Structure 1
Amino acid sequence: GMALGWGCGLPAHGVAVLGPVHGGLPSLRVPLVDWNTLLALLPISASCVFVIIAQSAATSRAYAYRFGETVDENRDILGLSAANAAAGLTGTFTVNGSPTQTAMAVRAGATSQRAQLVFAGITLCVLLFLTGPLQYLPRCILASVVFCVAVGMVDVAGLVRIRRESPGECALALVTAATVVSVGVEQGIFIAIALSLFRHVHHSYKPHTLVLRPDAATGAMEAEPVAAGVQTEPGLVIYRFCADLFYANCTLFADDIALLVSTARQPVRCLVVDCSAITDIDYSAAAVVRDVLVRLQARQVHVFFGRVAPYALADMERHRITLVLGHENIYPQLHVAIAAARAAYAQAVSRP
Structure 2
Amino acid sequence: MSVKIFPTLKNYKKEYLPKDILSGIIMAAVSIPISMGYAQIAGVPAVYGLYGSVLPILLFAMLSTSKQFIFGVDAAPAAIVGAALATLGVTAESAQALQYVPLIALFTGLWLLLFYLLHADKIVDFISTPVMGGFISGIAVTIIMMQIPKLMGSPAGTGEFIELAEHIFQAITKINWLSFGMGIGALVILIVSKKLIPKFPMAIVIMIAGVLSTIVFHVNQYGVVLLQAVQPGLPRLIFPDFTGINLTQAVGRALMVAVVIMAETLLSENNFASKNGYELDDRQEILACAAGNLAAGAVGCCPVNGSISRTSMNEQYGGKTQVVSITAGLTMAVVLIGATGFIEYLPVPVLTAIVISALMNVVETHLAVRLFKVSRNEFYIFIAAGIGVLFLGTIYGVVIGILLSFVAVILRATNPPRSFRGMIPGKEVYYDLERNRFAYPIKHVIIYRFSENLFFANIKVLVSDIENSIKEDTKAVILDASAINSLDITAADALEMLAASLKKRGIKFYITEHSREVNDQMRKLGIGHLIKEGAVRRTILAALHDAGIEQPCPLDIPEEDLEKLKRREYFSLPAEEENTLEEFAWAFGDDAVKEIEKRVLSIVKQIHEITDLEKLSEEGIEEKLEFWNSLGALDEDELLRRMELHLDDLPSDVKENKKLVIELIERRRRKLRDRLLKEHPEIVEHIEERRERLERRLEKQNPDAVKRLKHWKDEEF
Do the structures match in fold with TM over 0.5?
yes
On the 8 A contact 1:26/1:91 being kept in 2, the answer is no
Q: Shift of the alpha carbon at 1:178?
A: 4.6
2:446: which partner in 1?
A: 237
Q: 474, 492, 495: which is aligned to 1:267?
A: 474
Instruction: Calculate the TM-score normalised by the size of structure 1.
Output: 0.74
Matched letter for residue 61 of structure 1: S
Q: 294, 297, 300: which is aligned to 1:89?
A: 294
Matched letter for residue 342 of structure 1: H
**Structure 1 pair 294/86, CA: closer, same or farther in 2 (3 Å)?**
same
On the 8 A contact 1:213/1:238 being kept in 2, the answer is yes
Stretch of structure 1 that moved more, 161-170 or 133-142 = 133-142
2:279: which partner in 1?
A: 72
**Structure 1 pair 213/132, CA: closer, same or farther in 2 (3 Å)?**
same
1:342: which partner in 2?
A: 545
Q: Does 1:41 align with 2:246?
A: no
- Distance in 1 between the 2:533 and 2:348 partners? 71
2:498: which partner in 1?
A: 292
Percent of matched pairs sharing the same residue: 18
- Distance in 2 between the 1:314 and 1:139 partners? 67
Q: Does 1:24 align with 2:230?
A: no
Equivalenced residues, count = 328
**Structure 1 pair 137/309, CA: closer, same or farther in 2 (3 Å)?**
farther
Q: Shift of the alpha carbon at 1:148?
A: 1.2
Q: Shift of the alpha carbon at 1:326?
A: 3.3
Corresponding residue SS for 1:218 = coil
Corresponding residue SS for 2:234 = coil
Corresponding residue SS for 2:304 = coil
2:433: which partner in 1?
A: 224
| Structure 2 residue runs without a partner (length 5+) | 1-209, 298-302, 551-717
1:250: which partner in 2?
A: 459
2:356: which partner in 1?
A: 147
Q: Shift of the alpha carbon at 1:169?
A: 3.2
**Structure 1 pair 138/299, CA: closer, same or farther in 2 (3 Å)?**
farther
**Structure 1 pair 159/37, CA: closer, same or farther in 2 (3 Å)?**
closer
Corresponding residue SS for 1:345 = coil
**Structure 1 pair 299/56, CA: closer, same or farther in 2 (3 Å)?**
same
Q: Shift of the alpha carbon at 1:100?
A: 1.8
Corresponding residue SS for 2:360 = helix
Could you give the per-residue CA deviations for residues 307-341 of structure 1, whole angstroms, max 9, x where no partner exists?
2124433432332232344385434x5xx342233
**Structure 1 pair 26/251, CA: closer, same or farther in 2 (3 Å)?**
farther
Could you give the per-residue CA deviations for residues 184-232 of structure 1, whole angstroms, max 9, x where no partner exists?
4555454444334323322221112211101123232111359xxx983
On the 8 A contact 1:18/1:138 being kept in 2, the answer is no
Q: Shift of the alpha carbon at 1:165?
A: 2.9
1:199: which partner in 2?
A: 408
Q: What pairs up with 1:326-341 in 2 under 5 angstroms?
A: 326=532, 329-331=535-537, 333=538, 336-341=539-544
**Structure 1 pair 251/53, CA: closer, same or farther in 2 (3 Å)?**
same
Q: Shift of the alpha carbon at 1:15?
A: 4.6
Q: Does 1:281 align with 2:281?
A: no
Corresponding residue SS for 1:210 = strand
- Distance in 1 between the 2:535 and 2:518 partners? 14
Q: Shift of the alpha carbon at 1:128?
A: 4.6
Stretch of structure 1 that moved more, 305-314 or 250-259 = 305-314
Corresponding residue SS for 1:91 = helix
Corresponding residue SS for 1:295 = helix
- Distance in 1 between the 2:545 and 2:238 partners? 73
On the 8 A contact 1:286/1:319 being kept in 2, the answer is yes
Q: What pairs up with 1:163-174 in 2 under 5 angstroms?
A: 163-174=372-383
- Distance in 2 between the 1:215 and 1:116 partners? 61
Q: 249, 262, 271: which is aligned to 1:58?
A: 271
Q: Shift of the alpha carbon at 1:154?
A: 4.2
Q: What pairs up with 1:305-344 in 2 under 5 angstroms?
A: 305-326=511-532, 329-331=535-537, 333=538, 336-344=539-547
**Structure 1 pair 283/124, CA: closer, same or farther in 2 (3 Å)?**
farther
Could you give the per-residue CA deviations for residues 42-99 of structure 1, whole angstroms, max 9, x where no partner exists?
334323322222222122212x1xxxx3x324x1x12311212212432354342x33
- Distance in 1 between the 2:240 and 2:492 partners? 51
**Structure 1 pair 176/144, CA: closer, same or farther in 2 (3 Å)?**
farther
**Structure 1 pair 172/191, CA: closer, same or farther in 2 (3 Å)?**
same
Q: Shift of the alpha carbon at 1:239?
A: 1.0
**Structure 1 pair 182/42, CA: closer, same or farther in 2 (3 Å)?**
closer
- Distance in 1 between the 2:409 and 2:326 partners? 41
Corresponding residue SS for 1:237 = strand
| Structure 1 residue runs without a partner (length 5+) | 348-352
> Hey, which of these two has a bigger chunk of helix by percent?
2
Instruction: Calculate the TM-score normalised by the size of structure 2.
Output: 0.40
The higher relative CO (CA closer than 8 Å, separation ≥ 6) is in 2
Q: 320, 334, 346: which is aligned to 1:111?
A: 320
**Structure 1 pair 278/115, CA: closer, same or farther in 2 (3 Å)?**
same
Corresponding residue SS for 1:294 = helix
- Distance in 2 between the 1:31 and 1:312 partners? 60
- Distance in 2 between the 1:243 and 1:22 partners? 63
- Distance in 2 between the 1:20 and 1:321 partners? 76
1:350: which partner in 2?
A: none
Matched letter for residue 234 of structure 2: G
Corresponding residue SS for 1:42 = helix
Q: Shift of the alpha carbon at 1:241?
A: 0.7
Matched letter for residue 284 of structure 2: G
**Structure 1 pair 288/114, CA: closer, same or farther in 2 (3 Å)?**
same
Could you give the per-residue CA deviations for residues 163-183 of structure 1, whole angstroms, max 9, x where no partner exists?
333333334434444555555
- Distance in 1 between the 2:391 and 2:224 partners? 25
Q: Shift of the alpha carbon at 1:278?
A: 1.3
On the 8 A contact 2:224/2:347 being kept in 1, the answer is no
Q: Which has the larger radius of gyration?
A: 2
**Structure 1 pair 278/90, CA: closer, same or farther in 2 (3 Å)?**
same
Stretch of structure 1 that moved more, 205-214 or 126-135 = 126-135
- Distance in 2 between the 1:251 and 1:22 partners? 71
**Structure 1 pair 219/126, CA: closer, same or farther in 2 (3 Å)?**
same
**Structure 1 pair 46/156, CA: closer, same or farther in 2 (3 Å)?**
closer
**Structure 1 pair 210/106, CA: closer, same or farther in 2 (3 Å)?**
same
Q: Shift of the alpha carbon at 1:138?
A: 6.4
